[in-house]
Structure 1
Amino acid sequence: MQGDAESMTAVLNRLKRAQGQLGGVISMIEEGRECKDVVTQLAAVSRALDRAGFKIIATNLRDCVSDTSGDGPDIETLEKLFLTLA
């Protein structure tokens, strides 16, 4: 995957945070916690994953625009990727 080190570090941090939150959701369900608490945490996991996806797309879009060799992803592909997260 392409992208500058700083952006990829941010993506990995978001994904690791989401991984921890998902583990927490699983534990909450196993413990029989309140529905609203479980859903609230699940929404936080979803937002973290969405933000990681948007960051990946934004980074690749920047690379694509600056790539003059034509080897980068095309705009149509990036738009489709973006819409899969919407």
Structure 2
Amino acid sequence: MTRDEFLAELASEGFQEIVTVTREAGQSLDTHTHPFEAKALIVEGELTIRARETERRFQVGDVFHLASDESHSERYGPFGVVYLVGRK
């Protein structure tokens, strides 16, 4: 998915807060939650998310979606990751 397509999709779904997140190579975050729904597009690098007993790797062009308060952990690829995320 392209950046413009993703931004249009976020707008149509009511995501008003949009931020860019950058994470360092090889780092991780233990299991946690966010008090908001998040939908993100990977723009550089890769990210692995473990949620609901499933682990999935996301690369450039992939989109991930997490519900508000959804428990998950994150692991960043060997070159880190940059993603554009809508929050609501």
Query: Normalising to structure 2: TM-score of the pair?
Result: 0.25
Greater strand content: 2
Query: Normalising to structure 1: TM-score of the pair?
Result: 0.25
Greater helix content: 1
| Structure with the larger RCO, 1 or 2 (CA within 8 Å, 6+ apart) | 2
